[in-house]
Structure 1
Amino acid sequence: MAEGDARAAKVLRLAEWYFGDINYPNDQWLKEKIEESGGMIDISHIIKFGRMAPLDVSVEEFYEICKDSEVLSFSSDHQKVKRKNAAPEKPAINDEAALYFKGLPSTLTLDDLEEFFATIAPFKMIQMRRLADRTFKGSCYVQFADKEAAEKILADKPKYKDTELFISTKADHVAEDTAKRASKRKAPKAMTSAELEYKAKTVLIVDGIPADADVSREDISAEFKKFGELAFVAFSRGKTNAEVRFAETGMAEKALPEVNGKLVLGGATVTARTLEEEEEKEYFAKIQSRATEKGSRGRKNFRARRE
């Protein structure tokens, strides 16, 4: 594929991803921007998005590349864009059409993976699996067009260049991975009294995490440590929201502008909010109460063992 054709293909792929059935339902910033603008958004915003900006595409060029898209619809002056059809309420996740691939070079980027899988079959989404330091693990989940397409790929066993890949259904791998995690799971460390003391503007409520994304509590911690020391992160796989509590007063308020509508988790741009004073005090009262109950149960169990 010529360089210009590859660039155009990437522009179209990204545009259809932003407005597609998987990303759009969870992209609160994009949906709110479209609502504020009367149902459409200026293309000038889209071409500045993180992965689109390096392609240096103009508004006019974006329109020419995407005008025949089955996903996008444009204004008569070609300056604005929206989804062609109504969006589903929830991301169109289809695990029956998803496969797990392992054995890919850890140096690959998402762009590299998209170029590779585009040569195999049309796909809906790629979820890169990462280590705690955010480096690529060499494995990923890929959702293809439908179950039949996934079954054919599973049977064909495509290679990455000359490298054989381990391929299984996503469901099989998730079940195996869950069992491994359960066997290694340890009881969480009890929080100290200092960690339980009320501190204003330390809690962020994060929403819009894709329920099917390969996002762990450790991944969220790694992202939010950039903004300050953390006291605790409450999150479970499959949930769409998380509670992030900073160690120092005011840190949540400082982090909010850098997170809300900007931070990407699991392929979606998340939203975030701080708690109002009364709401935050209730939050701390609840965790203090839970800690007291756990401590009481622990002392009773200890006395029972001694008796």
Structure 2
Amino acid sequence: MSTETSTDVEKKVIRQVEYYFGDCNLPRDRFLQEQVKQDDGWVPLEIMLNFNRLKQITEDTAVIAESLRKSTSGLIEVSEDGKKIRRNPDQPIPENNEQRKQELAARSIYAKMFPLDSTLDTLQAWFETFGEVESLSMRKDVKKKFKGSVFVTFKAEDSVKKFLEAESVKFNDVELEKRLSKNAYYQQKQEERKQFQEEKQKKKDKATNRQKDDGWQKIENEMPKGALLLMTGMNQEETRREDIKNVLQDYGPIAWIDFNRGDPECVVRYDKENMAKEVLEKVMEANNNEIIIHENKLEARVLEGEEEVARWRKMHEDSINRKLEKQNRYSKNRQKGRWGKRPSKATRDALKKAKAEERGETAEKNDNDEPPAKKVRVEVTVEGDSNGD
């Protein structure tokens, strides 16, 4: 650019228009991309006045044309009649590949601590004391107000080195708070986000553990002794929760069956003390001391002591985890817009009841959250009943 023959207005016009058609802006400017497709790359200067920054410098198309003719970069061509401009076809836009991204990043910096009332022209002129600037982006908050930090891409890597390696860099006598390469800035932000997520997870885990401990303390104080029945030796391929329920439900009300299909064992919980022992005695008495489901003879015993306490704790923790997993799944689906407002509990219960009735079942829910079990013939072998026949 010839500073001897260009006025301040002309220099601003050249800088602004070359930014619009430059390597940084044109590949991402959809409006300008559409314009350059229409007339072999030529864009009327009347169209260019739709760009506010250029319009603020001058609305005189003759001044714009004359200014661009004085540019020495060779990037912009002006039509003979001075009414159209285009990017020089001999300077095609570089391919946007990984090599190009790395090359741009190597010429880009991040800087912070500029006055919030700074203008683009002021910042542009100041950064050009370090070298020719290709693009400058003033970072803004959600209210479109300047945050005091910028991204700058210089024409040459030497300018980046000059800016970053300077012992002291001041703007209006105020030392800049941060000077980083763009790559270093993004790496720093990534580390900060990672640290933030880790701290957030720690707080979440702490709250979860406190919830578990508080709930467990309550359960430990209130849990009925002798209410857990352990059954082992399941047919892991065929046994379902409903099969276990069918064997035991006639001998006492079941509160919960802790079992997932494929497990070799299950724990049946009752709400009353010593209920597990009473049920086991009745089942064994009625079936000649054998419990068989899907041709597998099961071992059954009532949990006691530390083993009983440990199982209560595990069931409590599993319950908390299921609730948290459900809450997280619900939250993610809400964020993705999959679900609207969650129905009330009464509505959800009514829907469950209606679905159960459609399947020909009672309103009692299937605790496994699985599709309803097919009707399975439960075999309880008896080698002689209580009458001795």
TM range (shorter): 0.5 to 0.7
What letter matches 2:38 in structure 1? E
Structure 2 residue 164 is the aligned partner of structure 1 residue 160? no
Structure 2 residue 338 is the aligned partner of structure 1 residue 196? yes
Q: Distance in 2 between matches of 1:36 and 1:197?
A: 44
Structure 2 residue 222 is the aligned partner of structure 1 residue 80? no
What letter matches 2:139 in structure 1? R
Q: Distance in 2 between matches of 1:182 and 1:110?
A: 33
Decide which structure has the larger Cα Rg and report it: 2
Structure 2 residue 158 is the aligned partner of structure 1 residue 129? no
Which structure has more relative contact order (CA 8 Å, sep 6+)? It is 1
What letter matches 2:173 in structure 1? D
Identity of aligned residues (%): 25
RMSD: 3.0
Q: Give the stretch that moved more between structures: 125-134 or 80-89.
A: 125-134
Task: Specify every segment of 5 or more residues in structure 1 that has no aligned partner in the other structure, as ranges.
Answer: 199-298, 301-307
The change in CA–CA distance for 1:194 and 1:5 in structure 2 (over 3 A counts) is closer
Q: Distance in 2 between matches of 1:114 and 1:193?
A: 41
Contact 2:134 2:155 survives alignment (8 Å): yes
The change in CA–CA distance for 1:72 and 1:194 in structure 2 (over 3 A counts) is closer
Q: Distance in 1 between matches of 2:50 and 2:87?
A: 18
The change in CA–CA distance for 1:120 and 1:147 in structure 2 (over 3 A counts) is closer
The change in CA–CA distance for 1:193 and 1:110 in structure 2 (over 3 A counts) is closer
Contact 2:132 2:156 survives alignment (8 Å): no
Could you tell me how far 1:60 is from its partner in structure 2? 0.9
Could you tell me how far 1:164 is from its partner in structure 2? 1.0
1:183 matched residue in structure 2 = 195
Contact 2:130 2:159 survives alignment (8 Å): no
Could you tell me how far 1:80 is from its partner in structure 2? 0.8
- Aligned residue for 1:52, secondary structure, equals helix
Contact 2:141 2:147 survives alignment (8 Å): yes
1:35 matched residue in structure 2 = 37
Contact 1:47 1:58 survives alignment (8 Å): no
Q: Distance in 1 between matches of 2:7 and 2:93?
A: 29
The change in CA–CA distance for 1:37 and 1:178 in structure 2 (over 3 A counts) is same
Task: Specify every segment of 5 or more residues in structure 2 that has no aligned partner in the other structure, as ranges.
Answer: 202-327, 341-368, 371-389
What's the CA shift string for 1:75-110, capped at 9, x where partnerless? Answer: 121211100122223396511122221111122233
Could you tell me how far 1:59 is from its partner in structure 2? 1.3
Q: Distance in 1 between matches of 2:171 and 2:186?
A: 22
2:118 matched residue in structure 1 = 108
The change in CA–CA distance for 1:150 and 1:191 in structure 2 (over 3 A counts) is same
Q: Distance in 2 between matches of 1:5 and 1:46?
A: 20
Contact 1:103 1:139 survives alignment (8 Å): yes
From 68, 72, 96, the counterpart of 1:90: 96
What's the CA shift string for 1:232-282, capped at 9, x where partnerless? Answer: xxxxxxxxxxxxxxxxxxxxxxxxxxxxxxxxxxxxxxxxxxxxxxxxxxx
Q: Distance in 2 between matches of 1:125 and 1:145?
A: 9
The change in CA–CA distance for 1:194 and 1:159 in structure 2 (over 3 A counts) is closer
TM-score (norm 2): 0.46
- Aligned residue for 2:170, secondary structure, equals coil
What letter matches 2:188 in structure 1? E
Q: Distance in 2 between matches of 1:76 and 1:23?
A: 26
Structure 2 residue 63 is the aligned partner of structure 1 residue 61? yes
Q: Distance in 2 between matches of 1:68 and 1:56?
A: 16
What letter matches 1:158 in structure 2? V
The change in CA–CA distance for 1:142 and 1:194 in structure 2 (over 3 A counts) is closer
